[in-house]
């Protein structure tokens, strides 16, 4: 291995391990990067934020945590939250414990003589729970109770919460979430691979220490290929889908040269690498079954959001540190309306369904075909209609897909063969997953009989393979081809509208998860003694003019290179100087100047 690659890999592994320092990979000034504004500086956000209970108290992780903290200060509400937490746990415990734990929950929270009795749940729902427990155990045992309880909490408790210091703290977190995002918000490490419009490299949030992958879309390359709609489409789909089986978009920002998508980093490499480059070709049944089940869940979550993936193949399925997989590269995906069909030869040769090849209209049937191809390839280390290392002209391959039957060798068990045949049915109307039962038909197939999908979707099933944390599962840096320089393309003001739509900063749910997972929330979310307001939450304290919250569409002026020492000194002495009014819409606010000053002064770990 070249010295350059060894150095790049060593730096990446060290960063993944937290940098070896007491800050866990965070900047030395991480608290300043995440500093709360005074509550009186949140007035604009407070007046404009949508007061929706489910969004603020259920869906957003920090909002949910703060609402729970508020409820714990009220004895009657604490019982409600304890009940909801217990029912969430009940949904993912092993089947053999369903009845005993369900009975425990009923005795503790639905028994009128219990000190933790939840009186807000109607009598009829309590009776139904008891009947279900006696007659038939199911995952929906407490569903009616949970709905009723959330309806209660969304009333007076939610109104009172909005008058509390806990909601004020949520507003502060939302303001921090909206701080400007630039290239200086991250440390950058080695290139991991190439996308269609630029490099993909590893990066690390300076504020939290969390590792990500940064997918760079070169502006001139996008413009040359007239791919603005394609690039924006991928970004909007990633923004829309929140699934543990699809890579998450955490940030979107721009530099002078590129548009950047900061995504979930998957350190375990892609399935193609593991199928063909890790010794024995292909996987055993348990590993095939586990990966197929997670891909199935990811595809279903995309379909729930009316997204057809259209490019399922092993190199687009990535493993994380723990051996779980996520679907990546949504560049060819499309959002459709309910019941709508689309047409077009889109995808990768070898994985396209017959209806795509024949240029017929289709829906998500093409993704179930792709799942069949994936299960086949993971098992046989070859595609269904092309032998390993066999070179075929496209027309010949298309003919095989349309006219011939796939063959099955000794590595296929009866169940694996059966699900492949069902998913690779040439007529989409006969294909597994395309009939009335939909995804449920696939989950109920005997091939998945050992998979508890509830526990799988909760991330509680142990993967059959865990990547080596000391390994880098990608090509050496020197073996990754560099992009050529794009010539003859100039960027102008007509491109600004597109960049504005793209440059939206932090994504709410991934960012809040980052704060919780890296314990930044735990370290910063402090209140006064005996649960009193801290000075930054004291509304009686007069502060200067409230800074405007940074709208998601605000473009930020980007630096092209790291400032010199003279430049840092100059910036330090002039950061509060006058701003050119002509360029005001693209200038940084006082908050952003403060953030950038901290970033440029920082030493790398």
505 bridge partner residues? 252
Q: Is the separation of the CB atoms in 182 and 596 below 8 Å?
A: yes
Active site residues: 311
Neighbours of 490 (CB within 10 A): 7
DSSP characters for 117-160? --TTS-HHHHHHHHHHHHH---TTTTHHHHHHHHHHHTTHHHHH
Q: Is the separation of the CB atoms in 249 and 262 below 8 Å?
A: yes
Distance of alpha carbon 470 from alpha carbon 16, whole angstroms: 9
Could you give the C-alpha distances from 68 to 83, 137, 508, in angstroms and in order? Answer: 12, 29, 19
Could you give the C-alpha distances from 188 to 25, 200, 564, in angstroms and in order? Answer: 13, 11, 18
Helix (H, G, I), strand (E, B), or coil: what is residue 68?
helix
Distance of alpha carbon 50 from alpha carbon 73, whole angstroms: 25
Neighbours of 10 (CB within 10 A): 12
Distance of alpha carbon 124 from alpha carbon 110, whole angstroms: 11
Distance of alpha carbon 475 from alpha carbon 478, whole angstroms: 8
Distance of alpha carbon 206 from alpha carbon 31, whole angstroms: 10
Q: Is the separation of the CB atoms in 32 and 537 below 8 Å?
A: no
Q: Is the separation of the CB atoms in 80 and 152 below 8 Å?
A: yes
Q: Is the separation of the CB atoms in 310 and 244 below 8 Å?
A: no
Q: Which is it for strands 317-319 and 325-327: parallel, antiparallel or unpaired?
A: antiparallel
Nearest to 200, CA basis, from 247, 133, 166, 140: 247
Neighbours of 498 (CB within 10 A): 17
Q: Is 159 annotated as a binding residue?
A: no
DSSP state of 383: B
Each as own residue / partner, the long-range contacts of residues 497-501 (CB below 8 Å, 24 or more positions apart, any chain) are 498/228, 498/232, 499/219, 499/254, 499/259, 499/555, 500/553, 500/555, 501/232, 501/553
Distance of alpha carbon 151 from alpha carbon 158, whole angstroms: 10
204 bridge partner residues? 187, 211
> Considering Cα of 337, then 341, then 346, then 352, what sign does the dihedral take?
positive
Helix (H, G, I), strand (E, B), or coil: what is residue 413?
coil
Q: List residues forming the annotated binding site.
A: 224
Q: List residues forming the annotated binding site for ATP.
A: 224
């Amino acid at each position: 291995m070249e010295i350059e690659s060894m150095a790049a890999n060593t730096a990446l592994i060290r960063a993944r391990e937290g940098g070896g320092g007491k800050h866990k990979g965070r900047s030395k000034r991480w608290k300043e990067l995440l500093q709360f504004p005074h509550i009186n500086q949140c007035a604009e956000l407070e007046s404009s934020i949508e007061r929706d209970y489910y969004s603020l108290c259920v869906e957003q992780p920090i909002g949910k945590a703060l609402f729970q903290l508020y409820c714990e200060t009220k004895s009657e509400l604490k019982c409600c939250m304890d009940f909801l937490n217990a029912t969430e746990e009940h949904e993912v415990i092993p089947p053999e414990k369903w009845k005993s734990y369900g009975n425990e929950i009923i005795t503790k929270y639905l028994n009128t003589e219990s000190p933790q009795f939840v009186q807000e749940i109607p009598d009829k729902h309590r009776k139904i729970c008891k009947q279900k427990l006696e007659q038939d155990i199911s995952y929906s045992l407490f569903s009616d109770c949970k709905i009723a309880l959330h309806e209660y909490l969304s009333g007076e408790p939610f109104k009172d919460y909005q008058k509390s210091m806990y909601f004020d703290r949520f507003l502060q977190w939302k303001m921090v979430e909206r701080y400007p995002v630039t290239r200086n918000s991250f440390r950058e490490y080695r290139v991991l691979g190439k996308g269609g419009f630029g490099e993909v490299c590893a990066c690390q949030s300076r504020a939290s220490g969390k590792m990500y992958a940064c997918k760079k879309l070169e502006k001139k390359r996008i413009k040359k290929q007239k791919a603005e709609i394609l690039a924006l489409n991928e970004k909007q789909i990633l923004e829309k889908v929140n699934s543990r089986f699809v890579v998450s978009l955490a940030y979107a920002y721009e530099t002078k040269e590129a548009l950047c998508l900061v995504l979930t980093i998957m350190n375990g490499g892609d399935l193609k690498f593991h199928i063909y480059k890790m010794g024995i070709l292909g996987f055993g049944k348990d590993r095939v079954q586990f990966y197929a089940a997670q891909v199935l869940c990811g595809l279903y979550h995309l379909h729930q959001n009316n997204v057809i993936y259209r490019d399922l193949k092993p190199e687009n399925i990535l493993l994380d540190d723990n051996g779980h997989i996520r679907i990546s590269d949504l560049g060819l995906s499309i959002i459709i309306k309910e019941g709508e069909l689309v047409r077009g030869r889109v995808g990768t040769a070898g994985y396209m369904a017959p209806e795509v090849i024949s240029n017929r209209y289709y829906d998500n049937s093409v993704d179930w075909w792709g799942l069949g191809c994936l299960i086949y390839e993971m098992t046989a280390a070859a595609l269904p209609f092309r032998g390993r290392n066999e070179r075929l002209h496209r027309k010949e391959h298309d003919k095989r897909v349309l006219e011939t039957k796939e063959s099955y060798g000794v590595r296929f068990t009866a169940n694996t063969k059966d699900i492949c045949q069902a998913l690779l049915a040439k007529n989409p109307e006969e294909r597994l997953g395309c009939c009335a039962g939909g995804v449920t038909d696939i989950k109920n197939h005997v091939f998945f009989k050992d998979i508890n999908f509830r526990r799988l979707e909760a991330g509680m099933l142990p993967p059959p393979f865990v990547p080596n944390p000391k390994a880098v599962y990608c090509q050496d840096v020197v073996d990754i081809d560099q992009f050529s320089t794009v010539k003859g393309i100039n960027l102008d003001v007509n491109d600004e509208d597109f960049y504005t739509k793209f440059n939206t900063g932090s994504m709410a749910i991934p960012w809040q998860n980052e704060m919780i997972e890296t314990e930044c929330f735990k370290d910063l979310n402090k209140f006064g003694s005996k649960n009193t307001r801290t000075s930054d939450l004291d509304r009686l304290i007069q502060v200067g003019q409230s800074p405007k919250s940074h709208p998601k569409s605000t473009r930020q002026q980007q630096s092209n290179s790291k400032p010199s020492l003279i430049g840092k000194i100059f910036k330090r002495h002039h950061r509060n100087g006058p701003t050119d009014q002509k360029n005001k819409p693209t200038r940084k606010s006082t908050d952003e100047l403060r953030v950038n000053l901290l970033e440029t002064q920082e030493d790398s770990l």
